[in-house]
Every structure is written in C-alpha cells, then in structure tokens.
Amino acid sequence: MIIRTVEFDGSVVAPEQPLPGELPQIAFAGRSNVGKSSLVNRLLGRTRRAVARVSASPGKTQALNFYRVNGAFFLVDLPGSGYAKAPASAREQWRRLVRSYLAGSRLLKGVVYLVDSRHPPTVGDQEFVEYLAETGVRVLIVLTKVDKLKPSQRERGITGPTERRLGVSEDQIVESSARTGEGAAELLAAIEALLEDES
C-alpha cells in the first residue's frame, strides 16, 4: 500500500454521534504512552507535519479521530487506555465510547493494538484483546519501540510472551519502530489485507 493522501475528517466524542463517513475502518488502539500517535504519523508518512497529535504527556487522544487515507478508508485513532492520571470519570467515558464503537461499527475491518515491546502485555492489554475476540473483530498486534531494545533481547525473540499472554499467533504480530520505520511496510501490507478481506 502506498499512502498518497491523508485528510483529517473529524472526531467522535460520544457514542450517539454519527461517524464522519461510510468508508471501511481500521482502528488503532493501545495503552497511553505506547507510541500510538508517533506510529500513526510514521505509517502515514507524516513525520515532518504530523496528523496525529504527539505529546510528552500521555492521554492526549480523548476522542475517536478519523483520518481519510487515499480516499479509500478511515484510520481511526482511539483514546489510549490505562492512563492513571486522568480523572476516573474521564477514563470511564473514554472506555464507553471505545467499546460502543468497537461493538457497533459495521464498517470496522480490524484493530491494530499496540504493546510496548520493552514490557510484557498487561492485564489491561489481555482484557482488551479478549474483548475484541468476543466482538469478532480481527486484531493485529504491533510491538512498538523495538529500537529501544538491547540486541540480546531481539536475538532471544520478543514475540513469544505476547503470543502466550494475548492468545494470538505469531503471524498476528508485527515488530515496529516509529523512529526508524521498522515494520511500517509489513504493517501497511497487513492493513491492506484486512481491508480486502470480505469475510
């Protein structure tokens, strides 16, 4: 897949709010501070002029943000989960919004779920992936920030713990780095396959 155009098409802040269009959707999700916005910008080729907001403070994405890619599908940036400093009421509002979207969008083709490669998947990660399995949404796991790992960690392999803890297969996991671009081509190919799958 070659990214030619990216346009921000609006945000959804409440479950009852209509989505901005009828295109197929690929959603990006993950815990706050996992590097989601940085990866979205790298993937869309917007490393100089970002489309997804990147901040040193996690928890900045507080809505479903829709980016129209190539005029063909929406990349949907979901609020990060597990951000302890946000008020409990705000975290619950984000959770309801995300779950309503994941369970109710008939045009959602798959979810790209990000996990920090430097740490084992958390209980929250497990719960989110289990929820996706219950809804029947296809999931692709992306291990982020692999450029920060020691060579010895890469040599031992980092996908095993993720496979076991999240109950996914090796072909559902992509190793990536927003800084170096590693894994971007593989991830784009996987997204293209999700979009083309009619089952």
For residue 51, what pLDDT is reported? 57
Rounded-to-integer distance, Cα 58 and Cα 4, Å: 29
Overall size of the chain counted in residues: 199
Rg of the chain in Å (alpha carbons)? 16
CATH of domain 6-196: 3.40.50.300
Calculate ∠ Cα 166-111-57, nearest 5°: 85
pLDDT mean over 77-98: 72
Q: In what order do the strands lie in the sheet with 6-12?
A: 6-12, 64-69, 73-77, 25-30, 108-116, 139-144, 173-175
Rounded-to-integer distance, Cα 136 and Cα 9, Å: 26
- Closest by CA position to 47, among listed 3, 104, 90: 3
Rounded-to-integer distance, Cα 72 and Cα 136, Å: 23
pLDDT mean over 179-188: 92
Q: Model pTM greater than 0.85?
A: yes
- Closest by CA position to 31, among listed 102, 149, 133, 117: 117
**pLDDT digits over 122-138, tens only?**
998 999 999 999 988 99
**pLDDT digits over 26-84, tens only?**
999 998 788 888 888 888 886 545 555 544 444 445 789 999 999 999 999 998 765 54
pLDDT band (50, 70, 90) for residue 153 = confident
pLDDT band (50, 70, 90) for residue 155 = confident
